[in-house]
Structure 1
C-alpha cells in the first residue's frame, strides 16, 4: 500500500480546480487553527503565481475570503488596487487580470 502524501493530494486538488472551473491557475492556502493563512501549492510551476501566493496570505481576496467566510470575486485586478494594493501589484506583475477566492 502506498503511503498517503498530503502534498501530492493538494497539488492534484489545485490542478482539478483549474479543470473544473475552467480557469488558468489555482492556488491553495491553508489556515491551521490559531494561525494565519499559509501558502501550500499552486496548479503549476509558474513562479509568478508562487510569488503572488506569498503576498496573498497577507493581502488580497484569499485573506478577505478567509476572514469573512465568504466567496470573493471574480474581481478585476485593475479595479481592486485600492482594496488590495500589494496583492494587485503582484497579480499584475504575474499577468493575472481577474481573481476570486472561495473558502473551503
Structure 2
C-alpha cells in the first residue's frame, strides 16, 4: 500500500522531525538496531517507497540485514544477500548508488533477485550507499511497487538520512581509533538475533504476524525508556513473560 501524499508543509515538518530525532538519538547512548529501524520507518513515511531495508558489513566484510520496514522486506533482503547478485551488493562494493526503475528489464542481470522481488510485488529498487568519504559500511535499500525512477528530491532526502546515520555509527570509531566500529557492529548483529527471537516468542504467544509482534515489543520498551535489545533479551530469557508484554499493547502511551 502506498503512502498518502503529503503536502509540502507536512513533508517539511516530518523531515525536520526525522533529522532532529536521529540527531538526538545518535548523541546519546543508543541502540543501533533501533536507530536503523527508525531510519527505514522515516524513509517509508517520507519518500516514494513502499518498503525499506538496511544492510551493514560485519568485521569479515559479509553483509548482514540490520533493519527492515516489514518482515516481507527482511526476507527479500536476506535472499538477495544469499545470491550475491543484486543492486544492494553492487552498491556496497562500488560505493555508488544503484537505481533500477524497472526490475522487469533487469531479469537477465540479476535473475534470482529480480524474479523474487517481482514475485513479492516490487517493481523498482534504489540502493543508496551508507558511506563516509571512502568508507562504505552498508546500504539503504528502497523498494517501490510501481516502476519508474524515484524523484530526485526523494533520493536527496534518502541520501541525507543515510549519511546522518552513517556519521553517527562511524563517529565513535574515530574517537577510539577504529576499534569501536567492529565491536559495535558485532553487538548490533547479536542484538538483531535476540530481537528476532523475541518477535517469535510474541508471535507464537498471541498468533501475531512478525511485523505486529515487533511493534508490540517496541512499544513495550519505549514505555520504559528501555533499549529494544534489552527488552528482547528479558523476554527470550524468561525474565519477563510474553503475556506481560502483550497485556500493555492497548494501553495509552
TM range (shorter): 0.7 to 0.9
Residue 60 in 1 paired to residue 93 in 2?
Answer: no
Q: Return 5+ residue gaps in structure 2 as ranges.
A: 1-27, 131-253
Q: Which piece of structure 1 moves more, 27-36 or 7-16? A: 27-36
**Is contact 1:65–1:72 with CA below 8 Å preserved after alignment?**
yes
Choose the corresponding residue for 1:10, options 36, 40, 62: 36
* Number of the residue aligned with 2:62: 36
Residue 27 in 1 paired to residue 53 in 2?
Answer: yes
Please give the alpha-carbon distance, in whole angstroms, between the structure 1 residues aligned to 2:46 and 2:56: 20
Per the normalisation by structure 1, the TM-score is: 0.85
Residue 98 in 1 paired to residue 124 in 2?
Answer: yes
Superposed CA deviations along residues 53-75 of structure 1, whole A, max 9, x for unmatched, are 01222221000111111001133
The CA deviation at 1:32 is 2.4
Residue 80 in 1 paired to residue 106 in 2?
Answer: yes
Q: Secondary structure at the match of 1:103?
A: strand
Work out which of the two has the higher radius of gyration on C-alpha atoms and give 1 or 2.
2
Q: Structure with the greater relative contact order (CA < 8 A, sep ≥ 6): 1 or 2?
A: 1
The CA deviation at 1:17 is 1.6
Superposed CA deviations along residues 44-103 of structure 1, whole A, max 9, x for unmatched, are 23x2x2221012222210001111110011331100111111111110121100111010
Q: After TM superposition, what 4+ stretches of structure 1 lie above 3 angstroms from structure 2? A: none
The CA deviation at 1:3 is 6.0
Please give the alpha-carbon distance, in whole angstroms, between the structure 1 residues aligned to 2:89 and 2:63: 7
Please give the alpha-carbon distance, in whole angstroms, between the structure 1 residues aligned to 2:93 and 2:30: 30
Please give the alpha-carbon distance, in whole angstroms, between the structure 2 residues aligned to 1:98 and 1:38: 22
Per the normalisation by structure 2, the TM-score is: 0.37
Q: Which piece of structure 1 moves more, 25-34 or 82-91? A: 25-34
Structure richer in helix, relative to its length: 2
Q: Return 5+ residue gaps in structure 1 as ranges.
A: none
Please give the alpha-carbon distance, in whole angstroms, between the structure 1 residues aligned to 2:118 and 2:129: 23
Computed over aligned residues only, the root mean square deviation of the Cα atoms, in angstroms, reads 1.8
